[in-house]
């Protein structure tokens, strides 16, 4: 709940989430923001209104799984890339250890995740630079992974561009 409230406040300050799950999260925040504004004008039932917002926030927070490099909004097992890759979409928990947040529609990346991705980029560059002649075949795959990391970083930067 603390993380969700923090990200909602970031949203209100124009600091957006990035990643494939960002649109869904922003839509949720927009809805909550509208309710907050409506309820601020409605003084007749403040307690009931706050309870409604709190309930929606709690429901959303209950599906959040915190990864090192992303947030996982585990809304639907059938859309969880980790479960799809593992062939078990009937699970009730994501497989965080198999998370591929750059490609999963339920993942978001935030400003706090940037250092992890930046370090990952640095290591990937070092690794690419050290590939010997005998491992040159690995080059294109490693290059593609580096580009994916750089795309995530660029999206995080663009999402926080208003800061």
**Using the rule CB under 6 A, which residue among 72, 102, 152, 156 binds ligand SF4?**
72
Cβ-based neighbour number of residue 78 at 10 Å: 9
DSSP 129-162: HH--GGGGGGHHHHHHHHHHHHHHHHHHHHHTTT
Question: In the complex with ligand SF4, which residue's Cβ is closer, 39 or 114?
Answer: 114
**Maximum C-alpha span of the chain:** 74
Question: Stretches 33-41, 47-55, 91-99, 132-140: which one binds ligand SF4 (CB under 6 A)?
Answer: 91-99
Q: Where are the beta strands (DSSP E) in the chain?
A: 64-66, 71-73, 107-108
Question: In the complex with ligand SF4, which residue's Cβ is closer, 8 or 71?
Answer: 71
| Smallest gap from residue 95 Cβ to ligand SF4 (A) | 6
Q: Which residues bind ligand SF4 (CB under 6 A)?
A: 70, 72, 74, 80-82, 94-96, 99-101, 104, 106-107
């Amino acid at each position: 709940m603390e993380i969700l409230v923090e990200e909602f406040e970031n949203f209100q300050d124009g600091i957006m989430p990035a990643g494939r799950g960002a649109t869904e999260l922003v839509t949720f925040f927009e809805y909550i923001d509208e309710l907050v504004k409506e309820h601020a004008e409605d003084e007749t039932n403040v307690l009931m209104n706050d309870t409604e917002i709190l309930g929606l926030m709690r429901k959303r927070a209950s599906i959040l799984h915190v990864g090192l490099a992303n947030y996982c909004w585990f809304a639907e097992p059938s859309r969880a890339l980790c479960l799809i890759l593992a062939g078990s979409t009937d699970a009730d928990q994501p497989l965080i250890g198999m998370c591929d947040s750059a490609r999963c529609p339920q993942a978001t990346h935030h400003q706090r995740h940037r250092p992890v991705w930046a370090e990952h980029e640095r290591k990937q560059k070092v690794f690419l630079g050290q590939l010997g002649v005998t491992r040159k075949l690995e080059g294109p795959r490693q290059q593609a992974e580096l580009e994916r990391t750089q795309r995530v970083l660029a999206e995080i930067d663009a999402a926080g561009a208003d800061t």
